Every structure is written in structure tokens, then in C-alpha cells.
Structure 1
Amino acid sequence: MKFKAMLLGLALMPVLSVLAQVPVYLNADKPIEERVKDALSRMTLEDKVKMLHAQSKFSSAGVARLGIPEIWATDGPHGIRPEVLWDEWNQAGWTNDSCIAYPALTCLAATWNPEMSHLYGKSVGEEARYRKKDILLGPGVNIYRTPLNGRNFEYMGEDPYLSATMVVPYIKGVQENGVAACVKHYALNNQETNRHTTNVYLSDRSLYEIYLPAFQAAVQEGGAWAIMGSYNLYQGEHACHNKRLLKDILRDEWNFDGVVVSDWGGVHSTEQAVYNGLDLEFGTWTDGLSNGTRNAYDNYFLAFPYLKLIKEGKIETKELDEKVSNILRLIFRTSMASHKPFGSLGSPDHGKVSRKIAEEGIVLLQNNNNILPIDLNKTKKIAVIGENAIKMMTVGGGSSSLKVKYEISPLDGLRNRVGDKAEVVYARGYVGDSSNELNGVTTGQNLKDDRSEDELLAEALQMAENADYVIFFGGLNKSEGQDCEGSDRISLGLPYAQDRVI
């Protein structure tokens, strides 16, 4: 036995010798800061600069020579965006990337339940991890300065305390999966119209009491690993390279140690990006948004222009090492972390989570004369009115658009619930935007209807006349000029003559 043990020990010696020579940065059991320092020391100037900017629509480069992986991001925060082509917004045509659609964050906030927020983050984080994403571009916590903001549905409400309370468990849930939550859009990004040129001035009291609390909680309580800079300007300087926001407040006051990611096309100056706190420049082509060729990324502000300034001796490398250290720290927390879970995509459990959050987020404004709940024992006919009872809402709205595993319309859901206990009839009532496609994802619905407003109204009135209950489904529908990225609502009124129908 002693002889066998001695042979076994001799056999292990070469293995132990090899393990002892493994670089510190590849050893997941070593403290992250040691790994960051070791990896940084092995990188060339070109390696470092290459890591600071996109290489495709949603990825940035690693260092293959050192085994440092690429970073892959995905849009959120309500579900995992379908895989897109390398340099285009259009989907790549995968057949296994359909996700679960989670309720909008405004619905999550309406639950007033931090446990629901953690469940939400954990579930959507599992879907991101399954798809091998390192950064989830969400959650959004911009304050509803105006109810007309086209992206209000993506944020957690108009109250700083509520937003700050709800964002923390969401972040923790996402990051339990080894996926970085990228909290957006920092900061003061409170409208979509002229979002690239709006210059915000406000008092420090308003800034700290209204617009920053959710971001501060995300960093100091949630431990967010990434922050996305916004498109707008603050005090004359773009938010993606704004010294006051990114260095004075985020780094120095809040001690943020994660990565500052630009919104796509949000960078406008190499020197400001270098000195004012941006780490990772994302986008496509040289303006960050339109399509182009792969070598366009070399022209980014934090690409060859930055490298050229360094080689000419006009800029030192102190800031470069800080940026790369932040990016390495993110990589070691995500793709190169040990013991990260596998995740899951489109599971029945995730479907139940989505439904549970939606149920808790429903807000009953009035219940005059105790009309609700409907007593099916005394009901023979229910009339359902409104296009939103049948329109798919997961496609559209900008970057939050999804390719979902399934979507159940309100009309189908109601019919499934009622069964044969009562007759459920339907009338369109109004016609909205009939488009059914975004970036190659289609709803499969044809909602075109050439009938006049009067004809639609007459049908609805006739349908409702003999019904015991009339249920109207209205509101916005993810179209331009409503709840949609890139534009704000045209008015506070309901669109498509819905008020008249009601």
C-alpha cells in the first residue's frame, strides 16, 4: 500500500507543478483584484485599447492570446432580445432564441413588492445566462419627469423611493446568475424626443432628491456591475462622458467599481471619453447607430483615435489601465467566474413567474357598485371591445421588442377562463397601427381594417347592447408617438378615437 501511495504521489507531482504555473488571472479561486492586476500586466497597448469598444452590434473584444473572452451584451430589461446579425439590428434567424416576455418594469413597480423584483431579476438573469450573455442592458430607473416620455413603460415609476427600493433586488437577482445588470440610462434621460441633444440644467437638490436616488441605490445597495450612460447632455456635457456624473458622483461619491457602458452612439469625443469616466463604447458604424462594415469599429472614439493619441505621446496610459481594469473586473465576475449556473430559457417556471408578477402589478382604479368580480353564474354574455384585446404587444417599442415563446391575448385568456359558462363576443371598436414587424421579428398577425371610425363604433355598440358585461381593452400599443423608444407620446389622450368608443 505504501508503495502504491508513493507511485500515486509521484504521478501527481507533474500535475501540481503545472497548476503552480497557471497565471493568477486564470485562477478563479484567487481574489479578483489580484487577477485584474496580473492580466493587465500581460497585455499589450493594442490589447488594452481593443477591449474598450465594440467589435459587433452587441459584443466587444477579448484577448484570445491570453484566453480572455469577449463580452456579450443583450437588450432587456423585459426579456432577452433575439440573436441579431453581427453588424445589424435584424435577427440572425435562430430557431432556439425565443424568450419569456416579462411584464414591463412599470408593472413590476406597481406590485410594490421587492420579492417580486428579485424573482423577476433572477428569472430574466437565468435566461440571459442560458444565452451566454455577460451584460443585461437593464433595468431602467429614469424618473417619470413627464407622462409623455415614450419609454416610461421601461422604468420603475415617478417616485424616487419606490424606484430605489425596487431596483436593488432586481439587480441582485440578475447578478446571482453571473450576468451583470447594466442600470440605465444614467442620468436625467427623461424624454425621447431630441434625446441626443437635450441639455438638462437643474438644481443639485432636484438632482440628488429626485433623479439620482435609484441609481445610487443600484450602486451602493444593489452592487450593480455596470451602468449605461444616457444620450442627453447635463450642464452642457454629454452624459456618456460627463465628469460630474461619471467621476465626481458615480466613482468618487458612490465608489462604483463596475463598468460604464455607453448607450449605442452616445459618445462624441475621444478626449472627453478618456478623461471623464467612460469605459466601454458600444454601437455600430461611426455614429453608433446605423449599419456599416466591421472595420468601422476601429474608428470609434475609444479605438484607433485613442491609440493614436497615446502613441504620439499626447495622452498617457493611466486612464487606459483604469478602464481595462474595470472591464477585466466585469469579465472575472461574469464569463470567467467560477460556479456560475447554466441558466434556463423559456421554461414553464419562468412563464409562471411572468404571470405572477403581472397579476400583482394589476391596478384596479375603481369598482363602482361592486361590478367586479364577474359572477359567471349570473352572466350569459360578455362583450369584449378594443383592438388591444387581440393585438400582440411584444413586438415593437424599440430595443425592448422581443421574440417570445408564446403570447396569449386578453381575448383568448378571457375565453379560456370563462369556458362554456358564458358567451364571449368581440368587436374591434377602433383600429390602431397595423404594423406587425420589427427587425425581422413578426407577430404573424394581419390587423389591417379599412372600415371607417363610424362603422367600427356602430359594430361595437350593437355588440354591447345585449351584453351583461362590456369589457373594453384600450390604451397605447408600442407604436411611434406612443409608448415607444425614439419618440414621445403625442398627447395624454387615448389614441385612435378610443375616448369616443368608451
Structure 2
Amino acid sequence: MSAFGDAQGAQSVELTLTEAASLLSGADMASTKALTEHGIPSVRMTDGSNGLAMNLPDFSGKVPATCFPTSSALAATWDPALVSRVAAAIAREAAAAGAQVLLSPGMNLKRSPLGGRNFEYYSEDPLLTAELAVGFVKGVQGEGVGACVKHYVANNQETDRMRVSADVSERALRELYLRAFEEVVSRAKPWLVMASYNKVNGTYVSEDERLLTGILRDEWGFDGVVVSDWGAVDDRVRALRAGLDLEMPSTSGASDAQVIAAVEDGTLDAAFVHRSARRVAELARRAADSRRPTGDPPAPVESAADLAITAAERSVVLLRNEHGVLPLAPRAGVAVIGAYASAPRFQGGGSAGVQPKQPAGSIVDAVGARHAGTVEYAPGYAADGLTRDPALLDQAISVAATADVAIVVVGSPESAESEGYDRADLDLPEAQNEIVAAVAAVARSTVVVIVSGGPVRTEAWRTSVDAIVSTGLAGQGVSLGLASILVGDADPGGRLAETWPCELADTPSFLSFPGEGGHSVYGEGIFVGYRGHDRINGAVAFPFGHGLSFAETRFEDLAVVESASGWSVDVTVVNDSERAAREVVQLYVEAPELAARRAPRALVGFAAVAVAPGQKTQARIRVPRRALKRWDEAAAGWTLDSGIHTFVAARSSRDAVLRHEIDVVGDDIRMPLTAASTLVEWLGHPSVGPALIAAVTEADPTGRTTGMLTNPMAVLMIGGLPIGRLAVDAANALTLDLLDRVLDSHMG
């Protein structure tokens, strides 16, 4: 029997094994089971990364909701506070529709730009991902709705996603793929964590006790519910033992019966059942408590529709702006070209898709309403974004030739980006590349607007057009948000949250993504995204963090103050122009590379600031000591290397502005020595090494053993041998007993 507090927390109840087991799987596609006689209500869950994505009861569609920018677009704002506001708005709509849990945010890193679900994820960088996801979780749970962070962990592709094994080193797993989850679990306390479909190093995540219990709960202190991705459980008993509490969706009682049978035949301790049932019951109590009226009048909230426009505007990234073609001159004659200008894409496909309350509207109409000059439109290519139409092409060329500025709207087609499959390439449809080239050949000035969930290949025309703008998949506010940037009513404050490569073959994961034979080998290790591009100093179209402003800003006075917990870094941002600016100060660290390979620079903090015309403001960034640590594979722990580290205030991973060196006193990490440690590792230890030489000198008066251990050429040849292999050779004085005595006397 198990004891539970009821939903009101007023009394304790006892559950039988059958009742406890019943709580461990869903009631249907979206809800947990209720035990009303014990005061345990059902909990309803819904998708919602860029807006409420709740299915109608008959699955004929979805509940109408505000469609915000996708996570990939929101990430370009580098603004956790804005992400939190958006998340709160989504949570309010979820609660109004009857949901208590939002199955968001998605936090998987963009290992490859081909990831089909990348539009649901934030970044290729774990720190940026963590900060934005913390904002999202706090925004959701501040409204009394639970957040479920996903997909834990290394769910970085759609190809074979239900069973593929992500074969990844412990260092890459810790520094990149687990890092953001750790931050969110520690700082934002999400109610749930979703275990992903895939395996990690051969074991399904849903059955991996080390990941679900050892790391998530024991190391990080997670106290909520671990829920499976829908249909991810391969062996329910093994998963329960590993720490997976709730299986979704309903199995119509089949998995509950498996659990009970395993207890009855002695292969599963009933304690596992009751442990997970307590967690699910606590989730139900938490959900019920959070919806109780407090008696306080509701605080005023901003319009969701207006917030969607603001978020879309902030998501816009100005990638190129030669000759100051943007913002548009007030009376310039403008040609807007491209079928996507009439009906822009604004979200990706799959379970996160939203039925928008308001349509995105036409970019043509949005620009026309704000621009004082003439605005003409020509579709240029077919509405599907794929089909070439010679008549439409000729019309577009004619319209572009007579305009002062031609704005060509292009983007990846709807079929290119969705849950369930990865992108085949980064190429735009040829019909769209053709229209860009044709317009650029005749127009006085050409602006290309890219509507996509991730990077696209721009090499066919990148240097032959005047300006390039990326909107991302920016939700129902995309047209109005973009128009405000194009006409100069707002400064383009967006910055890339992922590298845009010149060619797909340049990406660090190119040779191993998405893998084969059920395995995806993460051969690039820690060198994901900009870390890999910058390590080889390869050409990129646009680097991580890149984005231009209409204003003229500069950074000055980088100041660093150290404390016991880390460093406080201040950077002054000066606006030398007559336009208001929104700037993102990015702080990277250049770490010494004595003990392990490192990226040239790694992001350790950032701050987005608004700066009035002719004014200056200070950006303060706090860097905890942990941000400078790396995972040491041999020591199986985090370590901070001693030596000179350099803080770099930058506009992108490749655009350093200010530098400040700090002398770090790191961790004195000492590897435990065993018979499996190499001769070099023994000799290199500051106290054990000399003690070993002294011991063998005493044990072998001939000096032969000492000579072997001190001769540079001998050490060069045999130094990599585990010392235990030398200790079985009777020709020298090394013995396992001697090694044990040395260790006992010098390492306690």
C-alpha cells in the first residue's frame, strides 16, 4: 500500500498496487488517469511551443490560438524576458482551454542544420538554449501551468528517431546536450521532464537509469515527473525501474498489467511502482492547487495578438545591408516580389502546429500600409514555392526594373521543415534562386527576405544583393513585424542563434548525420555549430550571433570584477547615431588548451540592451565559475583549468570587440591512480611519481628498474602502458604489492 495526500493536501490515503499502477500510464492521448475516490484528479497535457496546439476532441483540427514565433525565431531575440512573456501568454490560453501542463519547451541542440524539428528548438549553443528555456519555463509556471521540458536527451534528428542510438562521448554529452537541461532543472524547476524516443550509447533513454535517476534526480535534484515521449517506451518494467514515471499515451491497461505481473512474479520491487505513483499523484495535486482562485483581482495582461507582433518584430535579423538600402527611403518606389510575400509561412509542421486565431496576412499589404512610397507586387513563382512559371518570372523582372528597391521574399517550402523527417538539404527551390538572380540583375537595389525555420544556402546570390533579412518562422505577426523593420519604425535587434554555413559540407556533423545502421555517431564531439566552424576557421555565410543594426553603436570599457562565485562583467554600449538601437552584447571566453581541446571561443553570457539616440548604457553579465569549466573524461567530473582565460565582448562568435584577460586559479584535479593507469600518469603525479622512483631504487640496488623508469627513450616507448603490465615482469622490481604500498603512503 502507498500513502498519498489528496488533491487538497488535507488527508492521507492508501493506494493498492493495482491503483498505484493505474496512475503510471495515460487515460487517453493527452490525459493522466484520475482516482477520484482518492482525490487524485486527471491532468490534461497539450503541445504548445509557439502557441496552444491542443487537438479538438474528435481530432478534426486544433483549438484556435495565438500563433507566436517558433522557438528558433524567438531565439534570435536573445531575450529571455520576452520569451517568458510569450510563454505566459501561451500558458493562459492553455489554462483557458482546460490544460494543466504544456509540453514545452523543446531544448535539443541543433547538432545539424538539417534537423527537421530544428524550428522547435532554440540554438546550437547550450548556454543560449538554457537562458531562453529558463525564461519559458518560468513564464509558463508563473501562470499556474506546468512546463514539461523535452526531449531529454540527444534527440537531435528525426531520421529513425524512434530507435536510433546517439553515440556520443561523455564530454560532449555533459558540456552540450545535457547542459541546458541541467540549468533549467536547477533554476526553473519544471514540473515534468520528457524522456526522448532515442537511445544514448545503445540504451533507450526511457530505460536508462543513469540518465533518468543518477543524473536527473540524484545529481540535479529533479523532483517532478518523468514522462515518456508518446510511444517511446520499449519495455515498461525496465523503464519504471530506471525512473520513468508516466507512460504516454494510454495503453488501454496493457502496460499497467505488465507492471503488476512483474511485481507478483518477483522481478520488480513494488517500491518502484509506489514511488512513481506518488510522483504522478503529486503532479495532480500540484495542478489542482495551481488553478484555485486566490481571491486577488487578476493582473492586467498584454494583448496576445499585440505580443505576437512584437515577438515577430524582435525575431527579425538583418544579415546584410550594403549601401544602407534599409530602412526604405520614405518615398522610394518598392516592388515586393514572391508568392511567399502574399501568403508567408509562419510556423513548422507536426504536433506543435497552431491553428492561428488571426491569419499572418500579406507582407505586401503590411509594407504598403506603412510605406509612404508606391508598393507594387508580382508573385514571381508559383504559390507552392517550388514551381517555376516563365510568365510570372517575366512579370517580376518588369516590376523590379522600374522600382527603386525590389524586395524578394523567398523561403523553404512548407514540406521542408516538419516533425517526422529531416531536411534533405539547405537549398532554396531553384525557382526562388532564379527569381533572386533575375531581379538582382535589373533592380537598382535588391533586398532578399528569407522566411525559414533554419539556415538556407545563399551562395548563389549572397554577395550580389544589397540586403538580406531573416524573419524565421515568426508566427501570425510576421508580416506586421517585418514591415516595421523594413520601413525603419523599429531597429532590427535579432541576432542569429545558429551558424549559417556556406555549404552543407562545411558543417561539423556533415559526415555522420544522420547516421546509419541504427547509430548516429557524434564524431564532431564538442565541436557543434560555431565551435566546430570556428575551430577550423572555415568560411561561413553568417556566423553565430551575427546581426546588423540601423543605428551606429560601439562597445567600450569592458570591466571585470571577480568574486567567490565567479565574475561580473560590465560593457558600456554607446549609440552614436540618431536612431534608437537594440544591441546584444555577447560575452565569450577563450580558454587555455593545455589539458583538453577547446573551441576558440565559447559563449558564457549575454545581455540585450536598448540604447537611446546619442546615449550610452551599461550591460552587466554575470559569469559563474561553472561556465568556464569543462568535463574531464578521465576524472569523470567538472574541472576548471588554471591559467589565463580571456573574456571577449563581441557582436558574434567571430566579431570580437573588447578583450580582458583573467588569471584563473582552477581546480587541483588529481586522477586516481590504479594498476590500469599508465606509467606516464604515475610518473607525472607530483608526490606519487618521486615516491615510486624511490621505492624501486630501494627494491632494485642494481639500478636497472630505476633506469627503465627514468630513461627518456624508454619512457617514450613504454610510457603509455598500464603500469600493472610492467609489474608482472620478474625482470624488474615493480610489483603490484610495491605499487599498493606507494599509493597507500602517498594518496591515503
Query: Shorter-chain TM-score: which interval?
Result: 0.7 to 0.9
Deviations 1:303-346 (A, max 9, x none): 222222223443221111111111122122222336467999xx
| 8 Å Cα contact 2:40-2:285 kept in structure 1 | no
Deviations 1:6-65 (A, max 9, x none): xxxxxxxxxxxxxxxxx953435x6xxxx7xx2xx4222222222111221111211022
SS in 2 for 1:208: helix
| 8 Å Cα contact 1:177-1:341 kept in structure 2 | no
Deviations 1:268-310 (A, max 9, x none): 11222121111111136xxxxxxxxxxx5222x3x22222222
Q: Distance in 2 between matches of 1:26 and 1:453?
A: 63
Q: Are residues 1:211 and 2:177 paired?
A: yes
Amino acid paired to 2:252: Y
75, 79, 85: which is aligned to 2:57? Answer: 85
- Tell me the equivalent position of 1:390: 342
Q: Distance in 2 between matches of 1:161 and 1:308?
A: 44
Q: How far did 1:151 drift?
A: 1.0
433, 452, 470: which is aligned to 1:499? Answer: 433
Q: How far did 1:402 drift?
A: 1.0
Q: How far did 1:248 drift?
A: 1.4
- Tell me the equivalent position of 1:10: none
Q: How does 1:206-355 map to 2 (within 5 A)?
A: 206-283=172-249, 296-299=251-254, 301=255, 303-337=256-290, 339=292, 349-355=303-309
Amino acid paired to 1:397: G
* 1:341–1:484 distance in 2 versus 1, CA, 3 Å: farther
Q: How far did 1:487 drift?
A: 0.9
Deviations 1:87-107 (A, max 9, x none): xx4337xxxx31111111112
* 1:365–1:121 distance in 2 versus 1, CA, 3 Å: same
* 1:362–1:120 distance in 2 versus 1, CA, 3 Å: same
| 8 Å Cα contact 1:394-1:401 kept in structure 2 | no
- Tell me the equivalent position of 2:317: 363
Q: Distance in 2 between matches of 1:244 and 1:180?
A: 25
SS in 1 for 2:163: coil
Amino acid paired to 1:393: R
- Tell me the equivalent position of 2:409: 473
Deviations 1:154-178 (A, max 9, x none): 1111111111111112101100122
153, 157, 161: which is aligned to 2:119? Answer: 153
| 8 Å Cα contact 1:178-1:333 kept in structure 2 | no
| 8 Å Cα contact 2:7-2:284 kept in structure 1 | no
Q: How does 1:367-382 map to 2 (within 5 A)?
A: 367-376=321-330, 378-379=331-332, 381-382=333-334
Q: How far did 1:241 drift?
A: 2.3
* 1:51–1:245 distance in 2 versus 1, CA, 3 Å: same
Amino acid paired to 1:201: D
| 8 Å Cα contact 2:8-2:289 kept in structure 1 | no
Q: How far did 1:471 drift?
A: 1.0
- Tell me the equivalent position of 2:734: none
> Number of residue pairs matched?
429
- Tell me the equivalent position of 2:132: 166
Q: Distance in 1 between matches of 2:358 and 2:294?
A: 25
| 8 Å Cα contact 1:55-1:61 kept in structure 2 | yes
Amino acid paired to 1:487: Y
Q: Are residues 1:65 and 2:65 paired?
A: no
Q: Distance in 2 between matches of 1:386 and 1:244?
A: 51
Amino acid paired to 2:341: A
Q: Over aligned residues, Cα RMSD in angstroms?
A: 2.4
Q: Distance in 1 between matches of 2:319 and 2:29?
A: 42
Q: Distance in 1 between matches of 2:136 and 2:68?
A: 13
| 8 Å Cα contact 1:388-1:477 kept in structure 2 | no
Q: How far did 1:84 drift?
A: 2.6
| 8 Å Cα contact 2:47-2:102 kept in structure 1 | yes
Q: Distance in 2 between matches of 1:408 and 1:276?
A: 45
* 1:384–1:132 distance in 2 versus 1, CA, 3 Å: same
Q: How far did 1:392 drift?
A: 5.3
Which moved further from structure 2: 384-393 or 150-159? 384-393
SS in 1 for 2:183: helix
Q: How far did 1:257 drift?
A: 0.5
- Tell me the equivalent position of 1:292: none
Amino acid paired to 1:298: G
Q: How far did 1:354 drift?
A: 1.7
SS in 2 for 1:55: coil
Q: Structure 2: which 5+ residue stretches go unaligned?
A: 437-748
Q: Distance in 1 between matches of 2:342 and 2:210?
A: 47
- Larger radius of gyration, structure 1 or 2? 2
Give me the identity figure in percent.
34
Amino acid paired to 2:75: A
Q: How far did 1:221 drift?
A: 0.6
| 8 Å Cα contact 2:32-2:44 kept in structure 1 | yes
Q: Distance in 1 between matches of 2:208 and 2:47?
A: 24
Q: Distance in 1 between matches of 2:324 and 2:46?
A: 45
Q: Distance in 1 between matches of 2:430 and 2:188?
A: 41
Structure-2-length-normalised TM-score: 0.55
Q: Distance in 2 between matches of 1:432 and 1:142?
A: 32
| 8 Å Cα contact 1:149-1:489 kept in structure 2 | yes
Deviations 1:242-286 (A, max 9, x none): 2221111111111110111111111111222121111111136xx
SS in 1 for 2:159: coil
Q: How far did 1:496 drift?
A: 4.8
Q: Distance in 2 between matches of 1:156 and 1:351?
A: 22
* Larger fraction in strand: 2
Amino acid paired to 1:488: D
67, 75, 85: which is aligned to 1:101? Answer: 67
| 8 Å Cα contact 2:192-2:225 kept in structure 1 | yes
- Tell me the equivalent position of 2:399: 463
SS in 2 for 1:218: helix
* 1:412–1:51 distance in 2 versus 1, CA, 3 Å: farther
Structure-1-length-normalised TM-score: 0.80
- Tell me the equivalent position of 1:18: none
- Tell me the equivalent position of 1:490: 424
- Tell me the equivalent position of 2:375: 424
* 1:340–1:155 distance in 2 versus 1, CA, 3 Å: farther
339, 354, 359: which is aligned to 1:402? Answer: 354
Q: Are residues 1:51 and 2:3 paired?
A: no
Deviations 1:463-499 (A, max 9, x none): 21211221111112432xx221111111111135322
Q: How far did 1:382 drift?
A: 1.7
- Tell me the equivalent position of 1:27: 8
- Tell me the equivalent position of 1:76: 48
| 8 Å Cα contact 2:103-2:147 kept in structure 1 | yes
Q: Distance in 2 between matches of 1:171 and 1:228?
A: 14
Amino acid paired to 1:192: E
Q: Distance in 2 between matches of 1:207 and 1:44?
A: 39
Amino acid paired to 1:331: A
Q: Distance in 2 between matches of 1:151 and 1:475?
A: 16
Q: Structure 1: which 5+ residue stretches go unaligned?
A: 1-22, 285-295, 435-448
SS in 2 for 1:400: coil
Deviations 1:411-438 (A, max 9, x none): 33223323xx33322222233648xxxx
Which moved further from structure 2: 408-417 or 360-369? 408-417
* Larger fraction in helix: 1
| 8 Å Cα contact 1:178-1:341 kept in structure 2 | no
SS in 2 for 1:474: strand
Q: How far did 1:408 drift?
A: 2.5
